[in-house]
Amino acid sequence: MTIKELTVAGSGVLGSQIAFQSAFKDINVTIYDINEQALTKGKERIETLAEIYKNEIEKAKESYNREANNIKYNQNLLPSLDHIFLSEVTDSINFINKIPGKITFSKSLKEAVSKADLVIEAVPETISIKEDFYKELSKVAPKNTIFATNSSTLVPSQFASLTGRPEKFLAMHFANNIWQNNIVEVMGHEKTDKAVIDQALEFSKSIGMVALPIQKEQHGYILNSILVPFLENALALYYNEVADVQTIDKTWKLGTGAPMGPFEILDIIGIDTVYNIMKNYADTNNDPNSLHAHLAKMLKETFIDQNRTGKASGYGFYQYQ
Amino acid sequence: MTIKELTVAGSGVLGSQIAFQSAFKDINVTIYDINEQALTKGKERIETLAEIYKNEIEKAKESYNREANNIKYNQNLLPSLDHIFLSEVTDSINFINKIPGKITFSKSLKEAVSKADLVIEAVPETISIKEDFYKELSKVAPKNTIFATNSSTLVPSQFASLTGRPEKFLAMHFANNIWQNNIVEVMGHEKTDKAVIDQALEFSKSIGMVALPIQKEQHGYILNSILVPFLENALALYYNEVADVQTIDKTWKLGTGAPMGPFEILDIIGIDTVYNIMKNYADTNNDPNSLHAHLAKMLKETFIDQNRTGKASGYGFYQYQ
Residue type, B179: W
Q: What is the three-class DSSP state of B190?
A: coil
Burial call B74-92: b when 16+ CB within 10 Å, e when fewer: eeeeeeeeeeeeeeebeeb
Q: Looking at beta carbons, which pairs linking B272-278 to residues 24 or more positions away fall under 8 Å?
A: B272/B304, B272/B309, B272/B310, B274/B231, B274/B235, B274/B299, B275/B299, B275/B300, B275/B303, B275/B304, B277/B153, B277/B228, B278/B232
Nearest to A229 among B233, B247, B254 (CB): B233
The DSSP 8-state label assigned to residue A76 in this structure reads T
- Residues contacting residue B57 through CB under 8 Å, at least 6 positions apart: B89, B92, B93, B96
Mean pLDDT estimate for chain A: 93
- At CB < 8 Å, which residues of chain A contact B? 175, 181, 183, 185, 210, 212-216, 218, 222-223, 225-227, 229-230, 233-234, 236-237, 240-244, 247-248, 250-252, 254-260, 262, 265
Q: Is the pLDDT of residue B71 over 70?
A: no
The DSSP 8-state label assigned to residue A165 in this structure reads -
What is d(CA A66, CA A78) in angstroms, rounded to the nearest whole number? 14
Judge: B226–A230 Cβ closer than 8 Å, yes or no: yes
Judge: A243–B175 Cβ closer than 8 Å, yes or no: no
Which residue, among B186, B209, B222, B249, would best test binding to A if mutated, counting the most A CBs under 10 Å from its CB?
A: B222
Give the chain A residue whose CA is nearest to the CA of B247. Answer: A212
Q: Where are the beta strands (DSSP E) in chain B?
A: 5-9, 28-32, 104-106, 118-121, 146-149, 169-174, 183-188, 210-214
- At CB < 8 Å, which residues of chain B contact A? 175, 181, 183, 185, 210, 212-216, 218, 222-223, 225-227, 229-230, 233-234, 236-237, 240-244, 247-248, 250-252, 254-260, 262, 265
Q: Which of B201, B256, B1 is nearest to A243 (CA)?
A: B201
Q: Which of B252, B298, B257 is nearest to B275 (CA)?
A: B298
Residues of B in contact with A255 (CB under 8 A): 175, 181, 183, 223, 227
Which residue, among B230, B245, B253, would best test binding to A if mutated, counting the most A CBs under 10 Å from its CB?
A: B230
Nearest to B242 among A175, A183, A215 (CB): A215
Judge: B233–A250 Cβ closer than 8 Å, yes or no: no
State pLDDT tens for residues A169-185.
999 999 988 998 899 99
Q: Which of B263, B261, B308, B298 is nearest to B278 (CA)?
A: B298
Give the chain A residue whose CA is nearest to the CA of B264. Answer: A256
Q: Beta strand pairing status for A210-214 and A28-32?
A: unpaired
Report pTM: 0.85
Q: What are the angstrom distances between the C-alpha of A13 and each of A41, A95, A148, A153, A258?
A: 10, 22, 17, 16, 28
Q: What is the three-class DSSP state of B206?
A: helix
Instruction: List chain B domain ranges.
Output: 5-214, 223-312
CA distance A25 to chain B (A): 21
Q: Is A95 exposed, middle or buried (0-12, 13-18, 19+ CB in 10 A)?
A: middle
State pLDDT tens for residues A280-296.
889 888 888 999 999 99
Judge: A226–B247 Cβ closer than 8 Å, yes or no: no
- Residues contacting residue B199 through CB under 8 Å, at least 6 positions apart: B1, B3, B146
Residues of B in contact with A216 (CB under 8 A): 240-242
Judge: A222–B256 Cβ closer than 8 Å, yes or no: no
Q: Which of B195, B187, B251 is nearest to B218 (CA)?
A: B187
State pLDDT tens for residues A101-110.
999 999 999 9
- Residues contacting residue B81 through CB under 8 Å, at least 6 positions apart: B73, B75
What phi and psi values does residue B81 have, to the nearest 5 degrees?
Answer: -60, -45
Which CATH number applies to A5-214?
Answer: 3.40.50.720
- Residues contacting residue B251 through CB under 8 Å, at least 6 positions apart: A183, A185, A212, A222, A223, B243, B261
Residues of A in contact with B229 (CB under 8 A): 229-230, 233
Q: Beta strand pairing status for B28-32 and B146-149?
A: unpaired
Q: Which of A219, A203, A105 is nearest to A147 (CA)?
A: A203
**Three-state secondary structure along B45-90?**
HHHHHHHHHHHHHHHHHHHCCHHHHCCCCCCCCCCCHHHHHHHHHH
Question: Are the C-beta atoms of B218 and B151 separated by less than 8 Å?
Answer: no
Architecture of domain A223-312: Orthogonal Bundle (1.10)
Question: Are the C-beta atoms of B130 and B121 separated by less than 8 Å?
Answer: yes
What is d(CA A274, CA A296) in angstroms, rounded to the nearest whole number? 9
CA distance B177 to chain A (A): 11
Which residue, among A230, A238, A241, A291, would best test binding to B if mutated, counting the most B CBs under 10 Å from its CB?
A: A230
pLDDT of residue B45: 96
Higher-confidence residue of B63 and A154: namely A154
State pLDDT tens for residues B98-113.
999 999 999 999 999 9
Size of interface A-B (CB pairs under 8 A): 131
pLDDT confidence band for A86 (50 / 70 / 90): confident
What is d(CA A187, CA A197) in angstroms, rounded to the nearest whole number? 8
Helical axes B271-285 vs B262-269, angle rounded to 10°: 90
What phi and psi values does residue A32 have, to the nearest 5 degrees?
Answer: -105, 135
State pLDDT tens for residues B179-209.
988 999 999 999 999 999 999 999 999 999 9
**ipTM for the predicted complex:** 0.86
Give the chain A residue whose CA is nearest to the CA of B70. Answer: A70
Average pLDDT over residues A258-266: 96
Establish whether domains B5-214 and B223-312 are of one fold. Answer: no
